[in-house]
């Protein structure tokens, strides 16, 4: 079996030696072929880097399973071919192209722009790195049919990626995703890719769109008076070497905050992310430098954005004046509570308003919405699905917010992806509003738990890299389906939702019910008698299998917070042990 695989990858690598690839590329292929250790050769060529429903994401390097100008080129040529078929009646098809701070991001963005333009497609190319949400905004602003953001989001430094967007500014979903994949898979050789760009069809954009976008972000704010009264609020912000450096501090100052403190070492744009192991605001270590700065200045809040500034992480001071991290579920909950509460206070909450969350996000979101008469829609993980709900209800209902546990929030529909620029602005306003009401952000969070119930969540990711890792993840999901647990942490399972079969099963009766979702998805959920919820899914963008654990308890008062928090932490550990993770 191993010899067969090696023969296959060797044959594929030799095609790259004879094909129309650069000499530098061929030199790298020869090096891998000549090496005694064939691991790198196998990992680079054992498959083609898949253009999935979200685009491309992979390790940069030479080979069919790597991010390089040829895999980016095939993706762009396939997308161009599909756009020309789908919008054949338009006099001019157009796209927006942007990129983040990662190594090779500018090269890949310019390569994509050249290929689009060589295919007769007008390109709005950002002059330098920009946040992902601004690309979504630009697609909508210019009336483009599609767009591309070159980014691997918060992945490790060796990765890059390519997100494809549709004409509503959202990432592509069915049927276009499948159709585009089919077009990309038709590209078998670099000879089929039109690399020679038409400069007349490439328009450079930048500050003009920054201003329009930032002015639009200002329209989501609900408490300008609270900002004015708390303009000296001390805000520490870090872009973690990424795209947020140029717009987030600027917007915070423009909306009225006069005390925005940045972390100088992390304001340096770098795809090597020199001050962190991982540029992911979900990772506690990524905020270490910002928290250290916050201690020096006795700040009110710490905010961080990931390399492409779509995700946001925050830290606040607790009741002991110690800095603690606020997780993605809590952040989402703070946004939901604030938007609903302020709109109600302002008389602006309407019966047609709705919010959206993903299926793995805290169920406390639904409790808040239900008690306030706001309809909440559940959708699959990923903002393309949140955007799909918005698109479906456009013109009939008003979207007022939505997010997911993975540190992403979309406060308004003028962007159709998670937006750290808007989220940081809104979270700063929430902090000012809480202070106006005599509370810290931590006390506001506690009060939400007192009113709506205490929910504690934990995400666990098991990484399995390479071909064998991918096979192991498939086997794990198969086992969970075929041999589901009967109880978790001593509480029996009462319901199972399998989004692969789109069936919900009542364990006590054995009855099944169809789940109303647009397509199947490889996700399993277990619900227990004591309200525990466990979700299991392989990541669509990383070599991981993810477990999402949520446990619940009432909270009588703020003074009981630490005791109940400790009890729920212990419960989560029991759940982990039950699952063997």
Q: What is the largest CA-CA distance in the chain?
A: 72
Cβ-based neighbours of 4, under 8 Å, separated by 6 or more: none
State the DSSP code for 48.
P
Report d(CA 490, CA 529) in Å as an integer.
Answer: 10
CA-wise closest residue to 421 among 54, 82, 135: 135
HSE-CB of 42 using CA atoms within 13 angstroms: 13
HSE-CB of 569 using CA atoms within 13 angstroms: 6
Give the pairing type, strands 491-498 and 503-506: antiparallel
Ranges of H-type helices in 49-205: 69-86, 105-118, 132-142, 176-186
DSSP E strands, 104-221: 122-126, 146-150, 159-166, 202-205
Rounded to the nearest 10 degrees, the angle between the axes of helix 420-436 and helix 207-218 is 40
Residues forming beta bridges with residue 325, ordered by sequence position: 315
- Both tokens of 169, joined, read 């500014």
Rounded to the nearest 10 degrees, the angle between the axes of helix 105-118 and helix 69-86 is 40
Cβ-based neighbours of 479, under 8 Å, separated by 6 or more: none
* Catalytic position from the list 153, 406, 455, 535: 153
Catalytic site includes residue 535: no
- Both tokens of 526, joined, read 């277990």
Report d(CA 325, CA 307) in Å as an integer.
Answer: 19
Which run of H or of E encompasses 260?
A: strand 260-262
Three-state DSSP class for 277?
coil
DSSP assignment of 104-132 equals THHHHHHHHHHHHHHTT-EEEEESS---H
Cβ atoms of 142 and 96 within 8 Å: the answer is yes
Report d(CA 227, CA 57) in Å as an integer.
Answer: 40
The alpha carbon of 233 is separated from its chain's Cα centroid by a whole number of angstroms, namely: 28
- Both tokens of 397, joined, read 């209902």
How many other β-carbons are positioned within 10 Å of the β-carbon of residue 519? 13
- Both tokens of 293, joined, read 């700065």
Tokens 């928290």 — which residue? 291
Work out the angle at residue 126's Cα, subtended by the Cα atoms of residues 236 and 281, and round it to the nearest 5 degrees.
Answer: 30
Report d(CA 500, CA 377) in Å as an integer.
Answer: 19
- Both tokens of 574, joined, read 């029991």
CA-wise closest residue to 423 among 390, 447, 401: 401
Give the pairing type, strands 353-358 and 398-404: parallel
Work out the angle at residue 242's Cα, subtended by the Cα atoms of residues 239 and 246, and round it to the nearest 5 degrees.
Answer: 75
Active-site positions read 153
């Amino acid at each position: 079996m191993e010899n067969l695989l090696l023969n296959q990858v060797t044959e594929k690598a030799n095609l790259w030696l004879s094909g129309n690839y650069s000499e530098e590329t061929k030199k790298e292929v020869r090096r891998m072929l000549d090496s005694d250790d064939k691991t790198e050769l196998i990992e680079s060529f054992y498959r083609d880097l898949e253009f999935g429903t979200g685009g491309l994401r992979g390790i940069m390097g030479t080979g069919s399973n790597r991010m390089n100008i040829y895999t980016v080129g095939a993706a762009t040529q396939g997308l161009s071919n599909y756009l020309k078929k789908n919008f054949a009646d338009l006099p001019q098809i157009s796209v927006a192209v942007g990129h983040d701070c990662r190594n090779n991001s500018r090269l890949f963005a310019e390569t994509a722009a050249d290929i689009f333009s060589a295919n007769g497609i007008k390109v709005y190319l950002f002059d330098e790195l920009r946040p992902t949400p601004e690309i979504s905004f630009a697609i909508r602003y210019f009336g483009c049919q599609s767009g591309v953001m070159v980014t691997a989001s918060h992945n490790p430094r060796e990765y890059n990626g390519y997100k494809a967007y549709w004409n509503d500014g959202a990432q592509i979903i069915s049927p276009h995703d499948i159709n585009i994949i089919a077009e990309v898979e038709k590209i078998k050789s670099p000879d089929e890719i039109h690399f020679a760009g038409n400069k007349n069809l490439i328009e450079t954009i930048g500050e003009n769109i920054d201003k329009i976008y930032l002015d639009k972000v200002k329209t989501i704010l609900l408490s300008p008076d609270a900002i004015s009264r708390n303009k000296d609020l001390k805000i520490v912000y870090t872009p973690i070497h990424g795209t947020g450096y140029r717009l987030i501090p600027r917007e915070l100052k423009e909306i009225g905050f006069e005390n925005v403190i940045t972390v100088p070492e992390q304001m340096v744009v770098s795809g090597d992310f020199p001050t962190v192991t991982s540029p992911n605001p979900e990772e506690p270590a990524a905020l270490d430098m910002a928290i250290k700065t916050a201690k020096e200045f006795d700040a009110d809040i710490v905010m961080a954005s990931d390399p492409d500034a779509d995700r946001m992480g925050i830290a606040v001071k607790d009741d002991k004046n110690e800095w603690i991290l606020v997780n993605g579920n809590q952040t989402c909950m703070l946004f939901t509570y604030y938007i609903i509460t302020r709109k109600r206070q302002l008389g602006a909450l309407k019966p047609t308003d709705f919010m959206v969350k993903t299926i793995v996000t805290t169920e406390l979101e639904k409790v808040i919405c239900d008690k306030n008469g706001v309809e909440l829609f559940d959708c699959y993980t990923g903002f393309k699905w949140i955007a799909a709900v918005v698109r479906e209800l456009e013109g009939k209902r008003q979207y007022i917010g939505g997010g997911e546990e993975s540190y992403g929030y979309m406060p308004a529909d003028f962007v159709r992806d998670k937006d750290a620029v808007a989220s940081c602005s809104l979270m700063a306003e929430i902090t000012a509003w809480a202070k106006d009401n005599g509370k810290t952000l931590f006390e506001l969070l506690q009060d939400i738990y007192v009113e709506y119930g205490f929910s504690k969540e934990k995400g666990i990711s098991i990484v399995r890299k390479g071909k064998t890792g991918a096979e192991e993840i498939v086997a794990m999901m198969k086992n969970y389906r075929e041999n589901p647990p009967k109880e978790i942490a001593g509480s029996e399972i009462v319901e199972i939702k399998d989004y692969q079969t789109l069936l919900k099963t009542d364990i006590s009766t054995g009855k099944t019910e169809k789940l109303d979702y647009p397509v199947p998805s490889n996700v399993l959920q277990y619900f227990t008698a004591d309200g525990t919820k466990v979700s299991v899914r392989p990541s669509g963008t990383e070599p991981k299998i993810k477990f999402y654990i949520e446990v619940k308890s009432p909270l009588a008062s703020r003074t009981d917070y630490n005791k109940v928090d400790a009890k729920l932490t212990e419960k989560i550990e029991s759940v982990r042990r039950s699952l063997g993770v």
